[in-house]
Structure 1
Amino acid sequence: MVINTIISLKDTVVQGEGNIVSDMGGEKVMLSVKNGKYYNLGDIGGEIWELIQSPTSITKLVNMLTASYEVEESECLQQVLSYLEHLLNEGLIEKR
């Protein structure tokens, strides 16, 4: 299967600035000051958010998640790329 993405395994991502994040009932929620929107990052999305506090490669991110959860690497990669692309499109993360 060919996945057409704007983020790939060779990329590194990091949290964008200007976001206020809080823990609500075990899930991360975020207010983007820049675009005035609230986001529910969820449980695993919140974990991804924490893992990208400093620049982190997509490969390292997928490896950490597959070590923590029972998920096939290909499925994890597909879901992580989709999630990160959403965050990137919203201006919440930076790609390096």
Structure 2
Amino acid sequence: MIKVEKISIEHLVIQSEGNIVSDMGGEKVMLNIENGKYYNLGKIGGDIWELIDKTILVGELINNIVAKYDVNKEKCEEEVISFLESMHEERLVRVITQN
């Protein structure tokens, strides 16, 4: 796997395998089989998780979140990329660099 220094809007992302996800009161919670950790993705994190069930461009993912929620695009981009980077560090998502 190629190490990604910083995720950008040009990267592609997709869920990593080996996670059990459940809806609890409108929020997504996840158990990673590999590391045995539980994660509470929350409402928006859960929406992001659903959107990355197939490979998606980070820029397109951000546009989807901006369309669904009343949020400033620049702030959304910053928050979504930070979330994805955290998920990537935990090996919960795969990041693909386009050639």
**TM-score normalized with structure 2 length:** 0.91
Structure 2 residue 68 is matched with structure 1 residue 31:
no
CA distance in 2, matches of 1:41, 1:62: 16
Superposed CA deviations along residues 41-96 of structure 1, whole A, max 9, x for unmatched, are 00000000000000010110011111111111100000000000000000000001
Rounded Cα–Cα distance in structure 2 between residues aligned with 1:69 and 1:55: 22
Instruction: Give the number of equivalent residue pairs.
Output: 92
Identity %: 51
Query: Which structure 2 residue ranges, 5 or more long, are not aligned?
Result: none
Residue 44, structure 1, aligned to residue 37, structure 2: no
- Unaligned 5+ segments in structure 1 are none
Residue type at the aligned position of 1:95: V
Letter of the 1:34 counterpart: E
What's the RMSD between the two structures over aligned residues?
0.8
Match of 1:58?
58
- Write out the 4+ residue segments of structure 1 that deviate beyond 4 Å after TM superposition: none
Kindly state the Cα deviation for residue 6 of structure 1 after the two structures are TM-superposed.
Answer: 1.4
CA distance in 2, matches of 1:40, 1:63: 23
**Which AA in structure 1 matches 2:36?**
G
Normalising by structure 1, we get a TM-score of 0.94
Q: How does 1:75-94 map to 2 (within 5 A)?
A: 75-94=75-94
